[in-house]
Amino acid sequence: MEAVIQFELSKEYLERFQGALDEKDEQFIRASLDGVNPADITQLLYEFDTEESKYVIDLLEKQISAQIINDLDEDTRTEFLGAFTVTEISSFLDFLDSDDCVDILMELSLQTREEVVALIRDEQKARHIQELLHYDEDVAGGLMAKELIKCNLNWTIRQCIEEIRKQAETVQKIYSVYVVNNTGKLIGKVSLKKIIIAEDSAKIADIYDDDIVSVATHMDEDEVASIMRKYDLEAVPVINAKGRLVGRITIDDIVDVMQEQAEEERQLMAGISDDVEEDDSVWKLSKARLPWLIIGMVGGLMGARFIGLFEGDIALIPAVAFFIPLITATGGNVGIQSSSIVVQSLANPNVFAESMARRLVKVLTVAVLNGLILALLVFGSVILLYKEEFLAITVSIALFSVVLLASFMGTITPIILDKFGINPALASGPFITTANDLLGLGVYFTVANLLYGIF
């Protein structure tokens, strides 16, 4: 097996490589990339334009070139594929699994897609690709690969091993062998260990495990990711409506789904409504960020207007205004903490199996404890700095109330959004922050007005 070289993308190497591209130094390019992992070569090619990258691709072995193209991000690859002929694209697909082939084909026009599929030499792979093209990309059928190892329930171990040798030519990773009956229905799996240690004359029926987790072709990719994460699966078989084995989904495909989920939630939590990347156009980046910035601005104007209603109180007791940032910042932080925990918990459907009342009691208990500690710290600080007991009591009670309210809002908001089919991560961003700012100000001035009136 060829050793993989540890690759370092340094400024000096980039300059030397750029010089080799300018001079068309094929010998240096081949030698410097020999044994380098395709993922590292992909990262290198991001530093060059399409024409230069294609020149490098053409110098490499087809198998490595295919993996590099497969590793490219979708936007870059879509542009990059335009530099290749249909014959060249078809030759790359010979070295990829059917699901990866479909991902690439879906980035081409319908006419080009059909021309590429027609040039695929492996007729079985071409049939597999055509079948996968019928599925939406965000369901199990769109994620699965057709390449897998399966055996019949009634086969002997010898027959099974012979079939493994035959099918393994098209399967890069073998996690287990799936067992089907005479109609092709999935009934279980058998580990390679059991096959190796069993007698040649033994039957698969004697050693297979019928306790198997599978997913249906129509299942949403988020559900597939949840199942594989829950059962710690490296691969999961996919069945059709009749229970027949039609493909498998491997962990590398689900990792991509999980990364997409995390990226979507991160952007929502940061107040970015669309899926954008750093190299997108200025207008697209602005359009994705602007809606929540406007909402935040409106919230700020409302907060300013709200403070104006208590202008008389602030004029009588100017020190009250000093603690407005403390109240709003604490309320926002508490709300984001609470909502982030709930959003994370909602990823596991079993977490909310317990009663809602019990969870809210737990949240309230944590909020009371945190609120008391913060209130006592603020009380002591105000006494030391301002020597005003009434002000210290007012700020402490208001802060305690804001912590309770913000914690409740941060918990209940993502749950409500989830019930209405809205991504609950939305509750961890500007939405909850703006709402808690307004509520916090309302609580603060109400408490101040009441207490100073009492005292």
Asked if residues 317 and 452 have their Cβ atoms less than 8 Å apart, the reply is yes
What are the tokens at 296?
């935040």
C-beta separation of 253 from 102 below 8 A: no
Determine the Cα–Cα distance for residues 341 and 335; give it in Å rounded to an integer.
10
Tokens 């002997």 label which residue? 156
Cβ-proximal residues to 162 (8 Å cutoff; 6+ apart), any chain: none
pTM: 0.67
Phi first, then psi, for residue 178 (nearest 5°) are -85, 140
First to last CA, the chain: 84
* β-strands 235-239, 215-216 pairing: parallel
Walk along the chain (455 residues) and give the pLDDT tens digit of each residue. Answer: 445 556 777 888 899 999 999 999 999 999 999 889 998 999 999 899 999 999 999 999 999 999 999 999 887 888 889 999 999 999 999 999 999 999 999 999 999 999 999 999 888 899 999 999 999 988 999 999 999 999 999 999 999 999 888 887 778 788 889 999 999 999 999 998 999 899 888 999 999 999 999 999 999 998 999 899 889 899 999 999 999 999 999 988 888 888 777 776 666 655 555 555 655 666 766 776 677 677 777 777 877 777 777 777 677 677 788 888 888 888 888 887 887 777 767 665 554 445 566 777 787 888 899 999 999 999 999 899 888 888 899 899 999 999 999 888 888 888 887 787 776 766 556 667 777 788 888 888 888 888 776 54
Please return the burial class of 134, using the count of CB atoms within 10 Å of its CB with bins 0-12, 13-18 and 19+.
exposed
Alpha carbons 72 and 253: distance in angstroms, whole number: 14
| Per-position b or e across 367-384, b if 16+ CB within 10 A of its CB | beebbeebbeebbeebee
Q: Do the beta carbons of residue 182 and residue 138 sit within 8 Å?
A: no
Domains of the chain: 11-133 (1.25.60.10), 150-258 (3.10.580.10), 282-454 (1.10.357.20)
The whole-angstrom separation of Cα 18 and Cα 25 is 10
pLDDT in the model for residue 321: 84
Cβ burial 2-18 (10 Å sphere, 16+ → b, else e): eeeeebeeeeeeeeebe
User: Quick one: pLDDT at residue 1?
Assistant: 42
Rounded Cα distance between 293 and 286, Å, is: 10
Cβ neighbour number for residue 189 with a 10 Å cutoff? 23
Take residue 151 and report the two structure tokens written for it: 């055996």
What does the pLDDT read at residue 269? 59
Structure tokens at 219: 């299942």
Whether 197 and 157 have beta carbons less than 8 Å apart is answered as: no
Looking at residue 270, its pLDDT comes to 58
3-state secondary structure of 203: strand
Tokens, residue 27: 């010998």
CB 447 within 8 A of CB 398: yes
Handedness of CA 346, 288, 50, 40 (dihedral sign): negative
Sign, CA dihedral 351-356-357-361, equals: positive
Ramachandran category for residue 289: left, alpha or beta (phi over 0 → left; psi -120 to 50 → alpha):
alpha
CA atoms of 274 and 403, how far apart (whole Å): 31
